[in-house]
Structure 1
Amino acid sequence: MTGTDGVDAAETPFDAGERLAWAGRADAFAAGFGRLCAYTVPRLLDAAGITEGTRVLDAGTGTGTAAAAACARGARVTAVDAEPDMARSAATAAPGAVVRLAALPHLPFPDGAFDAVVGNFVLNHVGRPRAALAELRRVTRPGGRIALTIWAAPPAPGQALLGRAVRAAGVPRPADLPALAPEDDFPRTERGLAELLGTAGPLTEVACSAVSWEHRTTAEEWWRGPAAGVAAIGRVVTSRGPGTVERIRRHFLDLAAEFTLPDGQLSLPHTALLASGRVDG
């Protein structure tokens, strides 16, 4: 089921920008970037120790890929997302899960409500990562596990492709697209993410490793999301009207040639970071 409670009204400018970037774009996300993000889900669930009967929270569920995979393992799944269109999509993808509308860093659950908490790239989309982590720890029972993924920085070549096309077209970042505040940012490295987990409170067995893969797609599919305004890159692409969108597209197609296989598909190298830890106490 889908609820409408729990969204934090006191969001940061970064949070507000993220909300605009994702509003109403669940289908466009699922058709492109959603397939990319699904790659890390099995390892994420393994790192969180999710098996039959596990009470699990999927934070920032998006279109529900991780929630559906956890349900398939027999877990008792609750999923939350800050964007209503994503929550509706997740409820369809994971009918066995309880899906609610809620935004980090304030979740509508009591302390220790879950055996495991997962967040597939959710930390890339919150304005206060440390506060978000502290909240995820709060709702995890003592002895329970937290597992999270983020995109690595600097990005892998495939991940950088769209940004390169934007720069080649000479399109600046829009002034109304806020970046994460410097005091809230952290190094997007194995060490940086592991140290960030340490700020959430007592965690043991903290581990972080890189996950690299080649994402297979087509130029048409990979372009469709940004052209529809999906994510921050989509807001940049669509910020200056159709003429600029077309100019970026031409640069994108030129740059995509280096990733094009003989069958015409793209093979885009991506790297994510996967971190996990056990709640002490």
Structure 2
Amino acid sequence: MVGPLLDAAGVTDGTRFLDVGTGPGFVSRAAVERGARVSALDAEPGMAETARRNVPGLDVRVAVLPEVPFEDGTFDAVAGNFVINHVGDPAAAIGALRRVLRGGGRLALTCWVMPGSGALAIVREAILAAGVPWPDDIPEPPFLEHGEPAAFRRLVAAAGLTEVAVEEVTWEHVTDAEHWWETGALSGVGTNGVIVGRQDAATVARIKAEYDKIIAGYAVADGKVALPAHALLAGGVR
């Protein structure tokens, strides 16, 4: 999704670009390769440090959306790859991203189709199959109501973006089965990670056994799995 995301944001040589929720820095690195002048943002200090290692010289700030520690109109383009569906107030976050765009600048966002299916749902399916109840103190994701094309378009347009377009994208995400378990269940990130992190060792082992059964259906070769992925790509102009 990195190439289409940067295309939707209009990132080319010389573009002043902000990569929101940079994680390991893959979007930033691709933007640098296009000749863009890149800054980045992530909520996790560890991820920010990883991005700095992966993209030498990258200006990475640590902040939690809707905090965006840049002046109004700083950037020609802003993009967030699978970050907006994880924030507590998506509307406020998009408004903050619009603020740091210049007039005529472009915003591009990807999100998972909700409710989660395919790659996104495997760990949750394993949790439920293991008989672990959904905790009363964990609400459904705040993005749940926005994860379909018309609703996502309304959300972006309501923040003041124009020329808003949303496309649905499907592909096979090839990854290592154990890596997907570690990032989706053991990292402590996201709802699934929080729920698994609360369990005792025996319950985690039971969830992992169910996960192994489910993900085996997607095996291809050499320990890899090809997981169906369903996402939305939105673009708009300030």
TM bucket, shorter chain: over 0.9
Q: Report what 1:133 is aligned to.
A: 94
2: distance between equivalents of 1:212 and 1:122? 18
1:115 is matched with which residue: 76, 100, 103?
Answer: 76
Counterpart secondary structure, 1:115: strand
Q: CA deviation at 1:185?
A: 5.5
Counterpart secondary structure, 1:236: helix
* CA offsets 1:33-60 (integer angstroms, 9 cap, x no match): xxxxxxx111100100000100011111
Counterpart secondary structure, 1:259: coil
Q: Report what 1:165 is aligned to.
A: 126
Q: What count of residue pairs does the alignment treat as equivalent?
A: 237
The answer to whether the aligner puts 1:207 opposite 2:145 as a matched pair is no
Paired letter, 1:136:
L
The answer to whether the aligner puts 1:101 opposite 2:62 as a matched pair is yes
TM-score with structure 2 setting the length: 0.93
Q: CA deviation at 1:61?
A: 1.2
1: distance between equivalents of 2:152 and 2:21? 18
Note if contact 2:118-2:230 (Cα within 8 Å) is conserved in structure 1.
no
Q: CA RMSD in A?
A: 1.8
2: distance between equivalents of 1:148 and 1:235? 25
The change in CA–CA distance for 1:245 and 1:78 in structure 2 (over 3 A counts) is same
Note if contact 1:217-1:267 (Cα within 8 Å) is conserved in structure 2.
yes
TM-score with structure 1 setting the length: 0.79
Q: Report what 1:193 is aligned to.
A: 152
Kindly indicate which of the two structures has a greater share of residues assigned to strand: 2
Q: CA deviation at 1:264?
A: 4.9
The change in CA–CA distance for 1:158 and 1:185 in structure 2 (over 3 A counts) is closer
The change in CA–CA distance for 1:188 and 1:107 in structure 2 (over 3 A counts) is same
Paired letter, 1:211:
V
2: distance between equivalents of 1:102 and 1:204? 26
Note if contact 2:86-2:190 (Cα within 8 Å) is conserved in structure 1.
no
Note if contact 1:124-1:151 (Cα within 8 Å) is conserved in structure 2.
yes
The answer to whether the aligner puts 1:216 opposite 2:177 as a matched pair is no
Counterpart secondary structure, 2:217: helix
Q: CA deviation at 1:180?
A: 4.2
Q: CA deviation at 1:122?
A: 1.4
Worse-matched range after superposition: 70-79 or 257-266: 257-266
2:115 is matched with which residue: 150, 154, 160?
Answer: 154
Q: CA deviation at 1:206?
A: 0.9
The change in CA–CA distance for 1:107 and 1:229 in structure 2 (over 3 A counts) is closer
Q: Report what 2:20 is aligned to.
A: 59
Paired letter, 1:207:
A
Q: CA deviation at 1:106?
A: 2.1
2: distance between equivalents of 1:265 and 1:109? 40
Percent identity between the aligned chains?
Answer: 49
* CA offsets 1:221-273 (integer angstroms, 9 cap, x no match): 22222134343212212211110110011111112232123655321101111
2: distance between equivalents of 1:65 and 1:263? 24
Note if contact 1:214-1:270 (Cα within 8 Å) is conserved in structure 2.
yes
After the TM superposition, which residues 1-281 of structure 1 pair with which residues of structure 2 at under 5 Å, given as runs? 40-180=1-141, 186-201=145-160, 203-225=161-183, 226-261=185-220, 264-279=223-238
Q: CA deviation at 1:174?
A: 3.5
